[in-house]
Amino acid sequence: MAAAGGVSTDDVPILQAENLTSNVKSVYYSRTFLSIIGGVVAGIWGFTGLMGFVFYFLIMMVASIGLLAKSKFSVQAYFDSWTRISIEGVFGGLMSFVLFWTYPFSLTI
């Protein structure tokens, strides 16, 4: 059965706004949590300079792969674009990472 414009309903993905908002919040909260935990780990392990930032982006890459695996690699069923999983919230958690990176680092010296 075709919808009112000649496009069948099977061709158009339907996303509910509440579900999309909840999924985006989950991505944001998980990235923030991983930023804090990653900052503490980087501080305890004594990473300095560029190595700490490489560690952060490595954590965010692993988080993106984990979120893709959690969505069973069908991102369009849960999000409106790939950028929601791949880069949403990556730079937002950077300040939390730096804060929690420097504090444990100063305690271990």
DSSP for 36-85, written as a single string: HHHHHHHHHHT--THHHHHHHHHHHHHHHHHHHHHTTT-GGGT-SSTHHH
Task: Give the integer Cα–Cα distance in Å for 91 and 70.
Answer: 22
Domains of the chain: which residue ranges? 17-106
Q: At residue 105, what is the residue type?
A: F
Amino acid 75 reads: V
pLDDT in tens, 13-28: 677 888 888 988 999 9
pLDDT tens string 48-92 = 999 999 999 999 999 999 999 988 888 888 888 888 888 888 888
Compute the distance between CA of residue 96 and CA of residue 101 in angstroms, rounded to an integer.
8
pTM of the model: 0.80
